[in-house]
Amino acid sequence: MTVALELAVTDLAGVRVALDLGMDRVEVCGALEVGGLTPSPAFVERTVALAAGSGLGIHPLIRVRAGGFVYADDEVAIMADDVRRLVDAGADGVVVGALRDGAVDLVALELLREAAGDVEVTFHRAVDAVDASDDVLDVLADAGVTRVLTAGGTDVSAGLERLRALCAQPGRRVQVMAGGGVTEENIGALLEVGVDAIHFSAGARVEDPSAAAGGYGSHHVTDADRARRLVSLARGA
């Protein structure tokens, strides 16, 4: 089985790395330093233009703020507006997630799914904070979700058996994409588990003294060499 590869990126340089390596998708994000936030429409538009004709899927993250995944109604409304705006900008899919009382927030998810129209919807790692339940994939499938991004727990190394169980569910209708702590040491084990896709950022932090006075002196970039090694291992090169 061919496993799809997705790179989380925060700038156009990261998009170029994904294009150079022939990856399948990018998750377009802002501020991966805090786990990722909704990117600007301009960033998505330029990503779409850069990737035109390449086959690279463009899937922006929709996350209104840092912190947890329980959202107020106003926050859900803002995210739904962002979904519509970024789909209009040319996104092939969106990455969303919302929780309520330890479970998937189906009301919020319905609003986000409706806003997405016909594009793919990925439910992000908020799923790893859901109370353990074997029916979570059915819940997401019934809500119109295409795939789920999960570590199977705190990270993919600790979550291998949970990932294996999710992938082996009879009649599974949702793609399982492993992500969260993917390294050169564990990517081979993820391939053996049977996931449909693997997600990683291959990230590095760049220190920038120009912002050190405010305590914001570093930002996330894509480490092209690390990304290349991960892709090579995933594809058996």
Determine the pLDDT at residue 219: 86
Determine the pLDDT at residue 214: 66
Name the nearest CA neighbour of 28 among 218, 231, 235, 220.
Answer: 220
**Number of structural domains, the chain?**
1
% of the chain beyond a pLDDT of 70:
96
Task: Output 64 or 236, whichever has higher pLDDT.
Answer: 64
What string of DSSP letters covers 145-211? --EEEE-SSSSTTTTHHHHHHHHT-TT--SEEEEESS--TTTHHHHHHHT-SEEEE--EEEEE-GGG
For residues 234 and 5, the answer to whether their CB atoms sit within 8 Å is: yes
Structure tokens at 40: 């600007």
Determine the pLDDT at residue 208: 78
What is the rounded average pLDDT for all residues in the chain?
A: 95
DSSP E strand stretches across the chain:
4-9, 25-28, 57-60, 93-96, 99-100, 103-104, 120-123, 147-150, 175-179, 197-200, 203-207, 218-222
pLDDT band at 205 (very low <50, low <70, confident <90, very high): confident
| Range from 26-35, 66-75, 126-135 carrying the lowest mean pLDDT | 126-135
- Res. 215: pLDDT tops 70: no
For residues 196 and 4, the answer to whether their CB atoms sit within 8 Å is: yes
Determine the pLDDT at residue 206: 87
* Residue 64, Cβ density class (10 Å: 0-12 exposed, 13-18 middle, ≥19 buried): middle
Type and span of the H or E element at 102 = none
Owning domain of residue 30: 4-234
Q: Which residues have a Cβ under 8 Å from the Cβ of 53 and sit 6 or more positions away? A: none
Backbone angles phi, psi at 96, to 5 degrees: -135, 170
Q: What's the CATH code of the domain at 211?
A: 3.20.20.380
Determine the pLDDT at residue 212: 63
Mean pLDDT, range 120-142, rounded to an integer = 92
pLDDT band at 157 (very low <50, low <70, confident <90, very high): very high
Q: For the segment 13-70, what is each residue's pLDDT rounded down to a tens digit?
A: 999 999 999 999 999 999 999 999 999 999 999 999 999 999 999 999 999 999 999 9
